[in-house]
Amino acid sequence: MTADVLARSARAASGLTQSELAVRSGIAGSSLSLIENGKRDPTVSTLEVLLRATRHTVVTVPTLRSDAARIAGEIGAAIARSEHDLAFRRFLQLSDNLVSERGSTRVGLVLTEPTSTGSIGWDAAIAALCEYRLNADHLPVPDWVTEQLGRPDEPWAPRTSDYDIPADPRRVPSEFLRRGILIEAETLSSV
């Protein structure tokens, strides 16, 4: 995970504005903005100060795979550019990343709460995917995942192509269905 994603996610999860974090951490708001926007790489000690001010800490995970927070950021960027197929491919990459790891490393890939993608549907789909993959091996599920409820009364499915076929709710995992996300389990299988 990059410093900008880590700083932005920790601040968002703590409910602080950039101004509040600047006051709490003693780091200038302008510097914080540059860090969160990926225009300045902080030193490790600066990053630790920012994280402590949000009641977070740095944890290393023995993997080269992108975590949920980073991929959620990429999905958000793809959505902003109306690249729905890319957003869906990144979502499937997260699924593959989680399947490829085991135990605490899999849990480590979902520890940091992602910032919003800008889409309630995508945010709920990411949480559902994380819960689905963690439940598969009876692993602990972070609070941010279970707190992301989506809109169960307004079913949503990601746009994957111009020829989308509606999902069969009987084939949708319960983690997705209870959030109103219509993605079949077979869709999450790597090819």
pLDDT, mean over the chain: 93
Structure tokens at 20: 């509040």
* pLDDT tens digits along 149-184: 999 999 999 987 767 788 999 999 999 999 999 999
Task: Fill in the amino acid letter for 71.
Answer: I
First to last CA, the chain: 26
- State phi, psi for 123 to the nearest 5 degrees: -60, -45
- At residue 187, the pLDDT reads 92
pTM for this entry: 0.85
pLDDT higher than threshold 90 for residue 61: no
Cα 162 to Cα 13, 75, 85, 155: the distances in Å are 35, 19, 10, 19
Q: How far apart are CA 87 and CA 75, in angstroms?
A: 5
Average pLDDT over residues 127-146: 97
Nearest to 176 by CA among 144, 143, 151: 151
* pLDDT tens digits along 63-73: 999 999 999 99
pLDDT higher than threshold 60 for residue 191: no
> Which domains, and CATH codes, for the chain?
3-53 (1.10.260.40), 68-188 (no CATH)
* pLDDT tens digits along 5-40: 889 989 998 999 999 999 999 999 999 999 999 999
Q: How far apart are CA 119 and CA 78, in angstroms?
A: 11
